[in-house]
Structure 1
């Protein structure tokens, strides 16, 4: 049975269709080269079957090449990502409009790749910008006014970088913590986080107290934990011309680690306030244990104060005539000693370069007299404080009672007072950490750097484009990381127990 055209079209459209049908041509198929010919031509074609086959395969190869073209190029323009070569709908960011699409995007392989990058060992730094004529501002000449809330991206980068100098001090100590009791220590290698700096001096701290001899007899395996003198940090100087030009000056860094030995812990507990040696003002007082570690000489090493002053004077003489800065950075005990070191070097010679302290998780060090002393010497201090870190709230001494009245004023010479400008972060604002993290995580240096890298402002505490790797945080504080991310790490075949973070001879420079 045949069905004519007239049986399927209305009568009023039949003439139009027949007229247009006469003008229809057979379109060329990309796979069949003979389809462009009319049927009558195909029957009378003189080309052989082998010729048609070769042409057919040639066209097939061209089609396959078109389907295997690379992904469209993604370029950054004015802070936004544009996609070239895609359709209109593909170029739109519809995840911002429909939450369902945003959730799907987070579960997409692209999101997993981003998480895998965050969990990798590779450090990704913020863009390197020239500090130029503003370096004094970033070094604290105006107490970082206008740079903290919201946190300036250049200042964030500098704070994280100085924190990594302290991490290098931790690694330098734990790689060889024991001290020789027979002579002066040998030079110590330190893997710096910035290859534009070089170490010029090792620093040692000595406790004025010692453990009874019977402790070594009972527990001989304690070893370096009971030694009086220990390597506590280093002095480094920027030695790269391009970095000096970028920063606007040659920077001298003094980095100090936190508490590690038994005697250092014992000194931390000596919380009584004592007068500063050589001070004309008896109301200027600092914590006894910190001052002991700062001023005490060892059997074969000078005191921390002597070593720092000697090295700073040498570097000032060597680079006389250049723009110099002295940056002192430390964590925990190192943060406390940083203030005493800053007090020492700021008056060790005439025309001392600007002195700034970047401290992480530091306790209170002295009273208001000590604060006034540092202010008079124009020492600038930026304290990075975690809201949940208990170490930043000690020492706490009982108030002094006079008659029936208790003196609580800050000018009380027996009351501890914090120094400098505060940058406050909060572990509860991190999307990766549990809200009930333990005390160790709140004080951990890597957790501090993670929070600083993510901090945007007090109104928006954690930025979505934070760049710092989560690998070390997962390794050091895995029990405090949300299970969502530990499970994702396992799903990405990332084993947090394999993260060992060996220190290379020199880590990549964050300025490159």
Structure 2
């Protein structure tokens, strides 16, 4: 079909147009990698991918004003004509590739936001004053009305306490070995919140051990088989402005998860033993956790002794001030947090309110242990990932409802403690739906999900602010390829990441 160009162009321009028209047939568009008019359905998806890639490069190289900018002009008939409309919107790529929502995912505005999330750039948001409601956020009402939808202030507090646990992980892995000949020296811990200072290092000791020949065979891995290991710290808020914002001086006890062979061995000692300080034989906890909590080392006291001594000292030091004690841990640290809470809740005549924020914690004791903590008014907020198997052990793999029915009459059945905040890996737009077990239990994945969680009806908020850099570094194989490829195009290769301390946002909310 011929086009009547003579009807639309002046005669003196017709020859020029015909000459240029011929040259156009030999050129390829930067947006269209092929000059063929018809392409097979089998290659259409590949061509679309290449088109998007070329389009992205074109947008990055262009120095023109924002393509999403809209300019309205009046036409001759008085109607409004929109010029400079978003290029991606005009292409309507979502119809070509609906499963990707390309017009939304690849818009310049989205690319800028994605670049920030994939980088280590911190985005600050204001921390609201909690002075009049700090007890509520600390769990005095079991966080009633704050979980669904998740309160912005509570989200910020939960993620902040998770970052204290990340500092405990880093403090251990930066120096895992511990001398067997002398008491350990005070350890430096890089805290994510500068308003806190570390006052005490904490250690756990296993009651089991491996033969000496194991260390002789693998001397470089001695820290894996050592009985005593650094597991966390006690820190106290020491900044007047932050104390005023929170409404009290906060004491934090942060505990990392399993790292050594001896700790793994204790994890599998799943028998229920009676609590030594309890006269009630129905109050029982897991043997391995109790061992790590109560066993003394050759040169260090037990975890129970260390934490009680330090809490008593701090309570006396800040006597007369409003205080709170917050215990936070991940995995094994979450389990030990409950035992620590039980220990310190009655270590002094007037103990401040005690709350536990646990991430991916296993079951620790039976119903008698749950009732024991409830009587001591220990508040527990359990952050649980639907796909995390660790939160379903120890105990037999049966439904929670069946577990609850058995707990009524069976003191040998494990039971969870406290209030639950449940997140779901599948709700993250950045993680694959088939992530592995390690990712489901990973602490950074937990903090990513909490930062994005809005409510049970809207599981992931669109304005989540937590950086994806550490998640990509730790769980790159579980991040969707769209974002890993984009990270590479932004020169954010994983081998360039170096984290002297966790890549965290100081107040990821709003």
Counterpart CA distance in 2 for 1:249 and 1:119 is 35
Larger Rg belongs to: 1
- Alignment pair present for 1:358 and 2:357: yes
Q: How many correspondences in the alignment?
A: 426
Task: Name the residue aligned to 1:313.
Answer: 312
Counterpart CA distance in 2 for 1:351 and 1:363 is 30
Task: Name the residue aligned to 2:465.
Answer: 467
Instruction: Give SS of 2:414's match.
Output: coil
Instruction: Give SS of 1:457's match.
Output: coil
Task: Name the residue aligned to 2:278.
Answer: 279
Cα contact 1:195–1:508 (8 A) shared by 2: no
Instruction: Give SS of 2:415's match.
Output: coil
Structure-2 change in CA distance of 1:140 and 1:86 (3 Å): farther
Counterpart CA distance in 1 for 2:334 and 2:396 is 20
Shift of 1:191: 0.4
Cα contact 1:125–1:157 (8 A) shared by 2: no
Q: How does 1:160-199 map to 2 (within 5 A)?
A: 160-199=159-198
Task: Name the residue aligned to 2:382.
Answer: 383
Q: How does 1:501-512 map to 2 (within 5 A)?
A: 501-503=499-501, 509-510=506-507
- Alignment pair present for 1:412 and 2:415: no
Shift of 1:86: 9.4
Instruction: Give SS of 1:132's match.
Output: coil
Cα contact 2:448–2:466 (8 A) shared by 1: yes
Shift of 1:336: 0.1
Instruction: Give SS of 2:336's match.
Output: helix
Counterpart CA distance in 2 for 1:161 and 1:475 is 20
Shift of 1:104: 3.4
Instruction: Give SS of 2:202's match.
Output: strand
Structure-2 change in CA distance of 1:169 and 1:398 (3 Å): closer
Q: How does 1:107-506 map to 2 (within 5 A)?
A: 107-397=106-396, 408-503=406-501
Cα contact 2:407–2:415 (8 A) shared by 1: no
Cα contact 1:367–1:414 (8 A) shared by 2: yes
Counterpart CA distance in 1 for 2:83 and 2:360 is 47
Instruction: Give SS of 2:447's match.
Output: helix
Structure-2 change in CA distance of 1:465 and 1:284 (3 Å): same
Counterpart CA distance in 2 for 1:95 and 1:355 is 53
Shift of 1:503: 2.9
Cα contact 1:179–1:185 (8 A) shared by 2: yes
Gaps of 5+ in 2: 1-62, 74-79, 95-100, 399-404
Q: What are the superposed Cα offsets for residues 121-166 of structure 1, whole Å, 9 maximum, x if unpaired?
A: 1233543111111000000000000000000000000000000000
Structure-2 change in CA distance of 1:291 and 1:125 (3 Å): farther
Task: Name the residue aligned to 2:36.
Answer: none
Shift of 1:508: 8.0
Shift of 1:109: 2.7
Counterpart CA distance in 1 for 2:347 and 2:84 is 62
Q: What are the superposed Cα offsets for residues 481-510 of structure 1, whole Å, 9 maximum, x if unpaired?
A: 000111111222221221121239x98854
Shift of 1:105: 5.1
Instruction: Give SS of 1:286's match.
Output: strand
Structure-2 change in CA distance of 1:507 and 1:447 (3 Å): closer
Instruction: Give SS of 1:274's match.
Output: strand
Shift of 1:396: 1.0
Counterpart CA distance in 2 for 1:417 and 1:287 is 11
Cα contact 2:124–2:505 (8 A) shared by 1: no
Counterpart CA distance in 2 for 1:485 and 1:468 is 15
| Greater displacement, 113-122 / 156-165 | 113-122
| Greater displacement, 106-115 / 179-188 | 106-115
Counterpart CA distance in 2 for 1:90 and 1:464 is 29
Task: Name the residue aligned to 2:58.
Answer: none
Structure-2 change in CA distance of 1:320 and 1:84 (3 Å): farther
Cα contact 1:335–1:363 (8 A) shared by 2: yes
Task: Name the residue aligned to 1:75.
Answer: none
Q: What are the superposed Cα offsets for residues 382-419 of structure 1, whole Å, 9 maximum, x if unpaired?
A: 000000000000001599xxxxxxx9344411000000
RMSD: 2.9
Gaps of 5+ in 1: 1-67, 72-82, 400-406
Structure-2 change in CA distance of 1:295 and 1:489 (3 Å): same
Shift of 1:106: 3.6
Shift of 1:90: 9.2
Counterpart CA distance in 1 for 2:490 and 2:293 is 47
Cα contact 1:194–1:508 (8 A) shared by 2: no
TM-score calculated relative to the size of structure 1: 0.78
